[in-house]
A = this chain, B = another copy of it.
């Protein structure tokens, strides 16, 4: 039996427990994980509260050292991860290795960011004692950590958006303690990483309470964490209903806290010019690859494609369906996701004006939570008449929507909900011709792509993995890239402080050599 990590020690072993299921065959895996008790949650919060002040005074170097040590440590257990994670998620070994690389890359990116130090947005306005009519005081400000952050592991990124993933890495980099709620589908993966986190924290003399890992029933633990007075912000990647529930809870607190939930996006693709033969074939090939990547379980999976109707559209639909048929059913991450996919497809198929062009069948050899691609089609007229077609069907399905005029696309852009990404395909001349359509689309997305597919999110300073609701609960944030750290920091201004007592970032002489806004 395994239990939660409460700081450096283990939590309650006595309560109800659960086992993970191998989605490839539907069989329970041997390890048992005890649900965190109320005492576990409270102790984790108490330790986080105490750790908060200690983390807040760590230097960028000290934070970077831990993040790099952890990256090295996780790389060192990649073989263990391959063993456990492939069983828990049905994801192939290559993906486990790739996601390990991404996770460690993120940790090192944040290490570099805080070592560099410029992210704190240091601003200095020096005193002008002789200013008339009133003297100007000395004012200096910089970003400081918000306090303990609750992080919810994502089902679809067992490493890169889970225990030591982007949310945790950016919170630690900001100087915030992190309490992680493990995902029920991959507790063993979570535990492997958690052991490494604790080991590296001890090695780097980080305070106990800078990390805890809680196993348990999502709703109960989630509510306890998000309602706890100690928690000051929440990072979440998951379903729209789950994210909204946390947001609602956080908003109703006596002291509301921000919830950064990355939830739901159909990542519309707008085909603006009717591509010719080979070009169309390549587009269909690329789209099918993007739609099937990871059994369609990426947040940026392209779910709806608006394309010219008529003969070209008929032809394209046929070509695309053929490309999609090539991919055979594979296990989705867990049975819940697979069930939601099938339910979503059934719902979409029953909408007025929808035709099912192709839907893969699961045969008796497809054990566990296997699911395969689907292609549905409709017209822009039908789409505009039924907003339920806009709902995300999480998995490898594509809804092809034929449009007759640019006016219809304008109407679509107006009813479209917020998205993580919107991709535009066409000759670059269409950018000229459809400038106002692009302006409309920009309002709805965090990332706009031209002649590229939205999956394969690059981790770098300029990425935006965010967008208006329901893509996220905070359109001003990104959960990927260096900008993710800004979610867990707030500006603090120091007025009239003697130089010795200012943070190094704000001292005269600029001892850290930062880029500062100075006057």
Given contacts A439-B56, A447-B495, A473-B256, contact A517 B462 (CB under 8 A): yes
CA distance A451 to B478 in the complex (A): 39
Q: Is the CB of A139 within 8 A of B460?
A: yes
Q: Which A47-69 residues sit within 8 Å CB-CB of chain B?
A: 52-53, 56-57
Contacts of A18 in B (CB 8 A): none
Q: Does A147 contact B (CB under 8 A)?
A: yes
Which of A208-216, A360-368, A392-400, A463-471 lies at the binding interface?
A463-471
Q: Does A30 contact B (CB under 8 A)?
A: no
Q: Is the CB of A491 within 8 A of B466?
A: yes
CA distance A123 to B445 in the complex (A): 17
Q: Does A284 contact B (CB under 8 A)?
A: no
Contacts of A141 in B (CB 8 A): 462-464, 483
Q: Does A136 contact B (CB under 8 A)?
A: yes
Q: Which A445-502 residues sit within 8 Å CB-CB of chain B?
A: 445-452, 456, 458, 460-464, 466, 468-470, 473-476, 478, 483, 486, 489-498, 500-501
CA distance A444 to B140 in the complex (A): 17
CA distance A142 to B493 in the complex (A): 25
Q: Is the CB of A491 within 8 A of B501?
A: no
Contacts of A2 in B (CB 8 A): none
Q: Is the CB of B447 within 8 A of A493?
A: yes
CA distance A466 to B456 in the complex (A): 38
Set B56, B144, B476: member contacting A490, Cβ < 8 A: B476
Q: Is the CB of A136 within 8 A of B493?
A: no
Q: Does A326 contact B (CB under 8 A)?
A: no
Set B144, B258, B449: member contacting A495, Cβ < 8 A: B449
Q: Is the CB of B493 within 8 A of A462?
A: yes
CA distance A113 to B17 in the complex (A): 57
Q: Is the CB of B251 within 8 A of A462?
A: no
Contacts of A519 in B (CB 8 A): 460-461
Given contacts A517-B462, A519-B460, contact A491 B139 (CB under 8 A): no
How distant is A209 from chain B, measured CB to nearest CB, in Å?
Answer: 15
> Contact mask A81-125 → B, CB, 8 Å, 1/0?
000000000000000000000000000000000000000000111
Q: Is the CB of B463 within 8 A of A493?
A: yes
CA distance A470 to B254 in the complex (A): 9
CA distance A442 to B519 in the complex (A): 24
Given contacts A140-B462, A474-B258, A501-B428, contact A436 B495 (CB under 8 A): no
CA distance A256 to B417 in the complex (A): 12
How distant is A128 from chain B, measured CB to nearest CB, in Å?
Answer: 10
Given contacts A450-B498, A458-B137, contact A492 B442 (CB under 8 A): yes
A-B contact pairs, 26 of them (CB 8 A): A53-B436, A56-B442, A57-B439, A123-B462, A124-B462, A134-B456, A139-B462, A140-B462, A141-B464, A141-B483, A144-B442, A248-B251, A255-B418, A255-B468, A255-B470, A258-B476, A438-B501, A446-B492, A448-B493, A450-B496, A460-B519, A463-B493, A464-B491, A464-B493, A476-B490, A476-B491
Known: A247-B251, A464-B493. 6 other contacts (CB 8 A): A53-B439, A123-B483, A255-B468, A431-B497, A450-B498, A466-B491
Query: Which A-B residue pairs are the 10 nearest by beta carbons?
Result: A123-B462, A464-B493, A251-B251, A255-B469, A447-B493, A141-B462, A452-B496, A449-B495, A125-B460, A431-B501
